[in-house]
Amino acid sequence: MSYLKKIEYKIMPRKSFRVIRNCSGCGKKTHFINTERFRVNANGNKIDVWLIYQCENCKHTCNLTVYERQKPSSIPKEEYQAFLRNDEEMAAAYGMNMQFFKKNKAEVDAAEAEYDFIRLSECEDGNNENSDRILVQIHNPYNLKLRPERQIAEVLGISGSRVKKFMEQEQIEIESACAEMISAFVNKCIFGS
């Protein structure tokens, strides 16, 4: 399909999610926060890595698995060093990654999710300068649960219902949508209107 130009975005959470789980110290469901500390256990030729979470009320901790019984050779050296020095950026990256929570069967407080849409790049030379469509690609590296229509509405700065209407009129067309990225064609008149 031809388009005038391509514009890419990335959805970026602002902070780590809090985990909701039963705290044995409090005897009820509480919020656990990302301590930004890793625990590394090297046992023979197997390595375990956890990210430590802590109950907000009583300081009880729980570990979420980052790596389980991995061969040392399968963990990139730089990443391993980052675990050992409790790298904040690395801890935050895990703390914002829905895939990580899913793997740990950890429930997060999604209601408090804050995120930004960051404009990455604009590629002027689309494949057809006569086209009136702009290809919008939105990357979702942290797998946030946001419907494609919602994402497009945020990028365009319009309401979800207007996006729906434009989709009915084929002014907006979702080309593909998966957890990591959506692609949509948007009429250039809508863009920046």
Instruction: Rank residues 58 and 179 by Cβ distance to Zn ion and give the closer one.
Output: 58
135: tokens are: 């290809």
Distance CA 158, CA 149 (A): 11
Q: Which amino acid is at 151?
A: Q
Which 106-125 residues touch Zn ion, going by CB under 5 A? none
Stretch that binds Zn ion, among 30-38, 41-49, 74-82, 162-170 (CB under 5 A): 30-38
How many CA within 13 A on the CB side of residue 180?
2
- Binders of Zn ion among residues 65 to 94 (CB under 5 A) are none
Name 192's bridge partners. Answer: none
Question: Tokens 């604009």 belong to which residue?
Answer: 122
Q: For residues 42 and 32, what is the distance between their CA atoms, to the nearest angstrom?
A: 26
Among 1, 2, 22, 25, binds Zn ion (CB under 5 A): 25
Q: If binding is defined by CB under 5 A, does position 157 make contact with Zn ion?
A: no
User: What binding mask, one character per residue, do residues 37-66 give for Zn ion by CB under 5 A, x or -?
Assistant: ------------------x-xx-x------
Structure tokens at 184: 């949509």
Distance CA 52, CA 28 (A): 19
Tell me whether residue 23 or residue 182 sits nearer to Zn ion (CB atom): 23
Rounded to the nearest whole angstrom, what is the least distance from the CB of residue 51 to Zn ion in the complex?
A: 18
**Smallest separation, CB 27 to Zn ion (Å):** 8
The DSSP code sequence of 121-147 is EEES--S-TT--EEEEEEE-TT-----
Residue closer to Zn ion, measured from CB, 10 or 60: 60
Give the shortest CB-59-to-Zn ion separation in angstroms.
Answer: 7
Q: Does residue 21 interact with Zn ion by CB under 5 A?
A: no
Q: Binding residues for Zn ion, per CB under 5 A?
A: 23, 25-26, 30, 55, 57-58, 60
